[in-house]
Amino acid sequence: MFETARLKLTAWYLVIIMAISLLFSVAIYLNIRNEFRRFERISEVIQIDENRFVVPLRQFPEPPKIDATMIQGARIRVITALGILNAVILILAGTAGYFLAGRTLKPIREMVEEQNRFISDASHELRTPLTALKSTLEVHLRDKNLTLPDAKKVLEESVTDVNTLQSLSDSLLTLAQYQKPNGQTPMESLEIPVLVQYAIKQVNPLAQKKNIVIKKHLENIHVSGIRHSLVDLLVILLDNAIKYSNPNGTVTITAKKNDKNIILSVKDEGVGISKKDLPFIFDRFYRADSARTKSVKDGYGLGLAIAKKIVDLHQGTLRVKSTSGKGSIFTVTFSA
């Protein structure tokens, strides 16, 4: 598909360039032809009037003899030179056009490929739990001895599965929103401690469940950004820090500013991330072994992919340092 589009675009570039080149060639040729005609006329006048001058022209230095054959020869040479020039332009423009068409279409091709990957990843992630849910329900529907308490239990489990699927589809929607270029999003000046407060409110139930303390070291700084996106970013980082911490642990959130940057970090003392997993944790649907083997599935590997998109949207950087078994620190840097 893209090869055909590339060839079509090249053809259009060629049509435009060749039309301009041919127009110039015709203009040059017409000009030169007029000049030849002028020479022809001058040489005729010289031959007719030679004997009528008081001082015969012969006494002047001999003027160049221009005859019809010379002019015809010159005309053929000009036409050949213009033809060769146009052929060279055709070859050069064809090659350059093909190269430029490839470059023009590259970002579009990458975007379409990325979207296709996203759709196939998303449908794969949705299909697996849906198939499992469907077969569980079918098996129980066929069971003639199914008691009411059993049926209630199955329904309760199914509701839990549906809730997980709902949160997966919500995350997919959020990611898709950050995926498309959304032009100029209006940024506002936001107080970091207020954003942190909003985020902590959302993750508090989980922290309390695991008896985890969230410590704050926050300077009263402002950041330019989109409120709900920055709260989402903090929720993702805090939620992960709590999820991957051992019970009774501590999570620390810090915000400070230097001359150039605003630095936000979320630190935990949890399971950490192995060296092998570190390069991939920001990829969509990537889950480290430690997360995959958990008995309860509490994530789909979308959080950090969303976090990365949010940071990119704010032209910041997101880095991680982690030691397996000791904990992790995620650092976001925005320019001040």
What does the binding site for ligand ADP look like in residue numbers (CB under 6 A)? 240-241, 244, 268, 270-273, 281, 286-288, 290-291, 299-305, 328
Identify whether the C-beta of residue 207 lies closer than 8 Å to the C-beta of residue 216.
Answer: no
Q: Any bridge partners for residue 217, and if so which?
A: 254
Tell the smallest beta-carbon distance from residue 4 to ligand ADP (Å): 38
Whether 131 contacts 36, CB under 8 Å: no
C-beta of 95 vs 169, nearer to ligand ADP: 169
Nearest CA to 66 out of 39, 45, 48 is that of: 39
How far apart are CB 201 and ligand ADP at their closest, in Å? 19
- In the bound complex, what is the minimum distance in angstroms from residue 307's beta carbon to ligand ADP? 7
- Taking the least distance from each CB to ligand ADP, the nearer of 134 and 294 is 294
Nearer to ligand ADP, 82 or 269 (CB): 269
d(CA 265, CA 331): 4
Q: Does residue 190 contact residue 221 with C-beta atoms inside 8 Å?
A: no
User: CA 122 to CA 111: how far, in whole Å?
Assistant: 16
Site of tokens 């259009």: 12
Instruction: Supply the minimum distance, in Å, between the C-beta of residue 230 and ligand ADP.
Output: 17
Residue nearest to ligand ADP (CB): 299
Residue closer to ligand ADP, measured from CB, 224 or 331: 331
The nearest distance, CB 302 to ligand ADP, in angstroms, is: 6
Q: How far is the CB of 165 from ligand ADP (least distance, A)?
A: 14
Q: Which CB sits closer to ligand ADP, 127 or 276?
A: 276
Is the Cβ–Cβ distance between 70 and 5 less than 8 Å? no
Give CA–CA dist 46/61, Å, rounded: 13
Residue 60 DSSP code: S
Question: 237 or 263: whose CB is closer to ligand ADP?
Answer: 237
